[in-house]
Chain A
Amino acid sequence: MKQSMIRKTIRVLFGAALLTAVCSGSLFAADTIKLGIAGAHSGDLASYGLPTVKAAELVVKEINAKGGVLGRQVELLTEDDVCKPEVAANTGTKLVSKGVHAIIGHICSGATKAALGIYKDAKLIAVSPSATNPELTQSGQYPNFYRTIASDDAQARLEVDFTIGTLKAKKIAVLHDKGDYGKGLAEYAKKFAEDSKKASVVLFEGITPGAVDYSAVVQKIKRSGAEAVIYGGYHPEASSIVSQMRKRGMKTHFISDDGVKDDTFIKVAGKYAEGVYATGPKDTTKNPLAIAAIEAHKKAYGSDPGAFFLNGYAATQAILNAIEKAGSTDYAAVGKALQNEFVETPLGKIRFDKRGDAIGVGFSMYQVRKGVYVEVK
């Protein structure tokens, strides 16, 4: 008697589970729009990749609550690439074989390059929130690539113009961290500075990230007589170099990029951060959509969003909007919609040019004043 009861319960439970599985399967499998989110979600660069995942989750939650896109619910498939090209190739294949309709990502330029070929063959569009390598849009080899962030050369241009035009520096030292991002940026800065003929590049060097001491390089800057240092790289090394420069009483201007325009930089460098210039995405603090997005993040996750959050938010909105406008997930139609239809995002009203760069996304110059980044007008 007892046994049959148990058996019955099991059967009922099993049946129910099967039923839900079938139901949910039929509900989702055929009809959802699958969005792949690829980027560094674990390891040392996770802090660059995870905010985009959260941004996409927020956007999708909102859109799904309103009935989805084209009457279909949106489903997210997140895959980790730890910012390594060889892993990104696997990640890309995995997303393709899971049947995604578009990709948000990747986060790092190298990983993006490795995965884009796979997406190109599968006729899928990728929108990156953070891959800034100029080649991605300028080489013409990646017609399926779009991004909601400006490319490195635009940033380098702004840095050089500011250094020569506003700061009136004649001798510039250009440093970088030997990385993909930093060195690429520094090379553009060097080229632009030399082309302008108004200033000379007196020093061009790569520093070793993670080294225990930067005094030799700092002495070298001092000896070169540079009036301004343009640094391409991220905030950890920048804070060490600035601190050592200031400790040695050097008043040389320090101009850097959006890898440094991070509040952590100010906290780490402390009083030595004062007066440092850094380029960063245009000020969005007054954009109501940006305020709303940040509020939503605080409510859902209980903390301030991290790097590239707004870019990730805008990327998700842009691709979903394009699918909606195109009326399908067809490659050509969505591409056309991305290029022609404006979309309201936290970064402003954007659409994309033929190469895939966002129109309406740009950089401003900021300076650390009294412990906060203030836009320099």
Chain B
Amino acid sequence: MEYFLELLLGGLTRGSIYALIALGYTMVYGIIELINFAHGEIYMIGAFTALIVASVLTMSGMTGLSVLILASVVAVLYAAAYGFTVEKIAYKPLRQAPRLSPLISAIGMSIFLQNYVLIAQTSDFLPFPNLIPDLPFMEPYAHIMGSTELVIVLTTTVVTVILTLFIKFTRIGKAMRATAQDRGMAMLAGVNVNRVISNTFIIGSALAAIGGVLIASHIGRINFYIGFLAGIKAFTAAVLGGIGSIPGAVLGGLILGWTESFATGYVSSDYEDVFAFCLLVLILIFRPAGLLGRSTIQKV
């Protein structure tokens, strides 16, 4: 039973990480129906920026929580700026293009950003300082869940709640929903669609950066390639939950995390990814629009 609980908590951490990155995917997809392959790279750039800022601060003598906060804030700002710029360069000129063009552009952007960091920084793994302090009250539970894990799960929860409220109640959120529903109609109703899309990229990228900082602290090392696998997994999670739906992304992330965790625990970690993808195929066969996705009725 304790083993089950441990796997459950492990899966929860993993799932929260996936969910945090999946949110960005799902938001962008909801609005412009584009698989933003460069999203994983934004996450990686967020982590790199945090590492650089944190190292410079630590070397100039700062310690403790202020480093964590400053590094995270700078990372979030920069990731948002990168997301914004990527959209302006690689996707905005392609609004009228055939369906697959932005996808190829996104793959190109992803390759570009990876190599940009590779050349500008290094191909080696860099140690990432554990910025999250050990919480004293977690000490007795350290054998099942560490402080970092707790922070990850809590952050994901808080972020999801804030994001849901934001989309539901603010003006920007309403504009986003309107654009997602019908871009043309939203434009006629006076929504500045270009700005809405920019906002979506900014918010999604900022979330990715939060994910980047947390995961890098958890794993303790980064390199230019970390965005790729995390990106694919997060995208799987987003599709699993029904792409375009925010609670769906979280649900998808958690289910994926648990599947992998239990597959490792009770079967073998050799095939954890195989299990994850098989689950995806199965769910999509029975619910082609994902778990919480709305299946649209085709009109001719």
Q: In chain B between 20 and 51, which residues have their CB closer than 8 angstroms to a CB of chain A?
A: none
Report the count of interface residues on B (CB-CB < 8 A): 43
Q: B231 → chain A, closest Cβ, in Å? A: 11
A205 interfacial by beta-carbon distance below 8 Å: yes
**Alpha-carbon distance between A123 and B31 when the two chains are bound, in angstroms:** 61
Q: Which of B63-71, B173-181, B263-271, B292-300 contacts A (4 or more CB under 8 A)?
A: B263-271
A7 interfacial by beta-carbon distance below 8 Å: no
In chain A, what residue has the closest Cβ to B144?
Answer: A248
Q: In chain A between 174 and 217, which residues have their CB closer than 8 angstroms to a CB of chain B?
A: 178, 205-208, 210-213, 215-217
The answer to whether A248 and B272 touch across the interface, beta carbons within 8 angstroms, is no
Q: Return chain B residues, CB-CB under 8 Å to A217.
A: 264, 269
The answer to whether B269 and A206 touch across the interface, beta carbons within 8 angstroms, is yes
The answer to whether A248 and B127 touch across the interface, beta carbons within 8 angstroms, is no
Contact of B224 among A44, A45, A213, A247 (CB under 8 A): A44
Q: Return chain B residues, CB-CB under 8 Å to A220.
A: 264-265, 269
Q: Return chain B residues, CB-CB under 8 Å to A212.
A: 14, 17-18, 215, 218-219, 230, 233
Q: Return chain B residues, CB-CB under 8 Å to A243.
A: 220
The answer to whether B218 and A213 touch across the interface, beta carbons within 8 angstroms, is yes
Q: Return chain B residues, CB-CB under 8 Å to A44.
A: 118, 123, 223-225
A296 interfacial by beta-carbon distance below 8 Å: no
A236 interfacial by beta-carbon distance below 8 Å: yes
Contact of A239 among B144, B146, B220 (CB under 8 A): B220
**Alpha-carbon distance between A207 and B273 when the two chains are bound, in angstroms:** 10
Q: Report if A215-B10 is in contact (Cβ < 8 Å); known contacts: A44-B224, A205-B268, A208-B272.
A: yes
The answer to whether B270 and A206 touch across the interface, beta carbons within 8 angstroms, is yes
Contact of B14 among A46, A213, A248, A268 (CB under 8 A): A213
Contact of B17 among A213, A240, A269 (CB under 8 A): A213
The answer to whether B220 and A269 touch across the interface, beta carbons within 8 angstroms, is yes
Q: Report if A247-B146 is in contact (Cβ < 8 Å); known contacts: A264-B124, A264-B125.
A: yes
Contact of B221 among A216, A219, A239 (CB under 8 A): A239
The answer to whether A47 and B124 touch across the interface, beta carbons within 8 angstroms, is yes
Q: A179 → chain B, closest Cβ, in Å? A: 13
Main secondary structure of the interface of A (DSSP, over half): helix
Q: Return chain A residues, CB-CB under 8 Å to B224.
A: 44
A223 interfacial by beta-carbon distance below 8 Å: yes
**Alpha-carbon distance between A322 and B132 when the two chains are bound, in angstroms:** 56
Q: Return chain A residues, CB-CB under 8 Å to B7.
A: 216, 219
Q: What's the A-B contact tally at a CB cutoff of 8 Å?
A: 102
Q: A272 → chain B, closest Cβ, in Å? A: 9
Q: In chain A between 263 and 321, which residues have their CB closer than 8 angstroms to a CB of chain B?
A: 264, 267-270
B226 interfacial by beta-carbon distance below 8 Å: yes
A165 interfacial by beta-carbon distance below 8 Å: no
Q: Report if A248-B269 is in contact (Cβ < 8 Å); known contacts: A216-B260, A268-B220.
A: no
Q: Return chain A residues, CB-CB under 8 Å to B269.
A: 205-208, 216-217, 220
Q: Return chain B residues, CB-CB under 8 Å to A240.
A: 219-221
Q: In chain A between 318 and 345, which residues have their CB closer than 8 angstroms to a CB of chain B?
A: none
**Alpha-carbon distance between A223 and B264 when the two chains are bound, in angstroms:** 13
Task: Categorize the interface residue count of chain A.
Answer: 20 to 34
Q: B224 → chain A, closest Cβ, in Å? A: 7
The answer to whether A211 and B270 touch across the interface, beta carbons within 8 angstroms, is no
The answer to whether A223 and B13 touch across the interface, beta carbons within 8 angstroms, is no
Q: B50 → chain A, closest Cβ, in Å? A: 16
Contact of B10 among A216, A239, A264 (CB under 8 A): A216
Q: Mark A245-264, 1 if CB is under 8 A from B, else 0.
A: 00111000000000000001
The answer to whether A248 and B143 touch across the interface, beta carbons within 8 angstroms, is yes
B229 interfacial by beta-carbon distance below 8 Å: yes
The answer to whether A47 and B14 touch across the interface, beta carbons within 8 angstroms, is no
Q: Report if A205-B270 is in contact (Cβ < 8 Å); known contacts: A211-B229, A264-B124, A268-B220.
A: yes
The answer to whether A210 and B229 touch across the interface, beta carbons within 8 angstroms, is yes
Q: Return chain A residues, CB-CB under 8 Å to B233.
A: 212
Q: Return chain A residues, CB-CB under 8 Å to B3.
A: 219, 223
**Alpha-carbon distance between A268 and B9 when the two chains are bound, in angstroms:** 25
A: residues with CB less than 8 A from B are 43-47, 178, 205-208, 210-213, 215-217, 219-220, 223, 235-236, 239-240, 243, 247-249, 264, 267-270
Query: Which 9 pairs from chain A and chain B are nearest by CB?
Result: A215-B10, A216-B264, A268-B127, A213-B14, A216-B261, A210-B229, A206-B270, A236-B125, A219-B6
List, sorted by A's number, 14 A–B pairs whose CB atoms are closer than 8 Å. A206-B269, A210-B225, A213-B14, A215-B6, A216-B262, A216-B269, A219-B3, A219-B10, A220-B265, A236-B221, A239-B220, A264-B125, A268-B125, A269-B220
List 17 additional contacts besides A212-B218, A220-B265, A236-B125; criterion CB under 8 Å. A44-B118, A44-B223, A45-B123, A208-B229, A212-B230, A213-B13, A213-B14, A216-B14, A219-B7, A219-B265, A223-B3, A239-B220, A247-B146, A248-B143, A249-B142, A269-B220, A270-B127
B: residues with CB less than 8 A from A are 3, 6-7, 9-11, 13-14, 17-18, 118, 123-125, 127, 142-144, 146, 149, 215, 218-221, 223-226, 228-230, 233, 260-262, 264-265, 268-270, 272-273
